[in-house]
């Protein structure tokens, strides 16, 4: 950090990220952030999701959860669109995170090659 402008830019980015993480009544993206998820790169996946959501100016809830017992499939990302089944994706990379936002959240299409589970709600 070398200037007040850089600090203000960082502040705006963090505020936008936090707004994205706290919205209610919207499509929801959940990242597995248990120790197994973090060790597999979940923090980077969370940031990639937030970056893509913010780039597209989408109104989406982004939250995290602990371990759900599928450690071998980490990093895990769930997508829950209003009125649709909850979809779990596994082995997600940063590129996959962008694909999930574009294909599933924006266009409503399940990314079949990353699909781990489909939970009816």
pLDDT value at residue 25:
67
What are the structural domains, with CATH classification, of the chain?
26-119 (3.40.30.10)
Q: Which structure tokens are listed for 3?
A: 């200037």
pLDDT value at residue 3:
87
Instruction: Summarize pLDDT for 22-80 with one digit per residue, the tens.
Output: 555 689 999 999 999 999 999 999 999 999 999 999 999 999 999 888 999 999 999 99
Q: Give 106's pLDDT tier (boundaries 50, 70, 90).
A: very high
Q: Give 119's pLDDT tier (boundaries 50, 70, 90).
A: confident
Burial class (CB in 10 A: 0-12, 13-18, 19+), 27: buried
């Amino acid at each position: 950090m070398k200037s007040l402008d850089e600090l203000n830019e960082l502040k705006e980015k963090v505020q936008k990220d936090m707004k994205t993480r706290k919205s209610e009544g919207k499509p929801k993206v959940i990242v597995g952030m248990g120790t197994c998820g973090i060790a597999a790169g979940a923090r980077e996946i969370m940031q990639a999701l937030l970056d893509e959501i913010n780039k597209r100016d989408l109104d989406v809830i982004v939250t995290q959860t602990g371990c759900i017992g599928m450690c071998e499939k980490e990093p895990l990302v769930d997508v829950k669109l209003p009125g649709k089944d909850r979809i779990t994706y596994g082995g997600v990379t940063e590129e996959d995170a962008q694909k999930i936002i574009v294909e599933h959240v924006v266009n409503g299409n399940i990314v079949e090659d990353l699909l781990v589970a489909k939970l009816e709600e």
